[in-house]
Amino acid sequence: MALLDIVTFPDPFLRLKAKPVKKIEKDMQVLIIDMFETMRNEPGVGLAAPQIGQSIRLVVVEYAEEPEDENAPTPEPKRYVLVNPEIVKRSEETVEGMEGCLSVPGLIGNVERNESVTVKALNRFGKPQKIKANGWMARIFQHEIDHLDGILYIDRATDIYESISEENSEYIE
């Protein structure tokens, strides 16, 4: 497949509200595969279509929750394709955490997000899905859906820092 170019800040394309996907066709399946490949190559845990220059409401996420027992093996990552995603429920509880972004290289920031969310979307085949996410996964979904509305994490960050090492890569979307 193909690695795609990442659109980076301050490109005004990142501030546009993405258009809903009307029909899921074969070319979208190729785009989804390319988005996963690009995200893994960077490395990231999520990628929204506007980040690769496509003004459509499409997000891919791949993330493995850390095991509670530090000696246990890391589980296989879960993969999500969200077409026309919408957050339909948010917890009242919020939590602050560090975030980074493939479209804002070299920076990380402290962002307050809802601890849990419920997301309604279509899957890659156009079937409705509802996902309840907590913790880091909820943060990833909120971050990626913000991209579809032209919002960057730096708009929500209370503090922004220069990323000074590869260790910060876990914060990069």
| Structure confidence at residue 165 (pLDDT) | 58
- Specify burial of residue 158 (Cβ count, 10 A radius: 0-12, 13-18, 19+): exposed
Angstrom distance (rounded) from CA 14 to CA 39 = 17
Q: Which of 113, 116, 146 is nearest to 132 (CA)?
A: 116
| Structure confidence at residue 168 (pLDDT) | 45
162 is catalytic: no
| Structure confidence at residue 65 (pLDDT) | 76
| Structure confidence at residue 137 (pLDDT) | 96
Q: pLDDT, tens digit, for every residue of 103-132?
A: 999 999 999 999 999 999 999 999 999 999
Catalytic residue among 144, 162, 166, 167: 144
- Domains of the chain as residue ranges with CATH: 12-171 (3.90.45.10)
Q: Which residues of the chain have pLDDT under 70?
A: 165-173
| Structure confidence at residue 1 (pLDDT) | 72
Long-range contacts of 94-97 (CB under 8 A, 24+ apart): 95/135, 96/158, 97/136, 97/139
Percent of the chain with pLDDT over 70: 95
| Structure confidence at residue 170 (pLDDT) | 46
